Structure 1
């Protein structure tokens, strides 16, 4: 039986070859303030042969549970300090792709791609990255 996918996933496609971006190291970090975020904030993965990350790893072992908990815990509550960046019920996350290692030293303009995005509890968030050595495109996938 296949493992259930985590609430935040990603996919890398190499636009120069038309193939998946396999074996790219990826880090997922909650940016919203949270008491336990510092202990569990480092979620890591490597894209598979299809260029996808469907499950993350962390020190506690159950990264999917940790992500769901952080999404809920990090979400801005009614009465919290006002911000237009992170509306009530949302949390702010960052995903980092180690593209320099993928293309090789000095062979790309973006050696690290960092994307910051909003997450709402109870939804799945898929972050595709269309990548070339000198360009990138991203969007909210399904």
Structure 2
């Protein structure tokens, strides 16, 4: 099986997928972050393509940065500045060529993640 990476962002405060949320994927290489791509979630809270497709997959350390603040402002959930959550970074390792799914459950004052399927 080839490895690849996907995500799904759900707005738990509104009870719906988080549409229009910007996501950046970085590879951590010798202590430096290298931007691999930036995508935006669709109306289902997913990206239209794999965040890291099988042809570009490599084991290693990665970071997804979810631009939660921009999304919360756009949906009227931001509250006062500075926001409690602005950018949500999630660092994780991929140690084998398989499907990695890193979802984000988001609200204005909290989030959670896990390795999904």
Same fold per TM (> 0.5)? yes
TM-score, structure 1 length as denominator? Answer: 0.66
- Mark the structure with the bigger radius of gyration: 1
Q: Which has the higher helix share?
A: 1
1:48 paired with 2:45, answer: no
Higher-RCO chain (CA-CA 8 Å, sequence separation at least 6): 2
Q: What does residue range 20-59 of structure 1 map to in structure 2 within 5 Å? A: 20-33=17-30, 38=34, 41-53=35-47, 55=49
For structure 1, which runs of at least 5 residues remain unmatched after alignment?
1-5, 58-62, 76-90
How many residue pairs get aligned? The number is: 107
65 and 128 in structure 1: CA distance in 2 versus 1, 3 angstrom threshold? closer
Residue equivalent to 1:100? 69
TM-score of the two chains, using structure 2 as the length reference? 0.80
For each residue in 1:83-106, what CA deviation from the matched residue of structure 2 results, as whole angstroms up to 9, or x when unmatched?
xxxxxxxx1000000111101185
Moved over 6 A (4+): none
The structure carrying a bigger strand percent of its residues is 2
Give unmatched runs, 5+ long, in structure 2: none
| Structure 2 counterparts to residues 1-142 of structure 1, below 5 A | 7-33=4-30, 38=34, 41-53=35-47, 55=49, 64=53, 67-68=56-57, 71=58, 75=59, 91-104=60-73, 106-107=78-79, 108-142=83-117
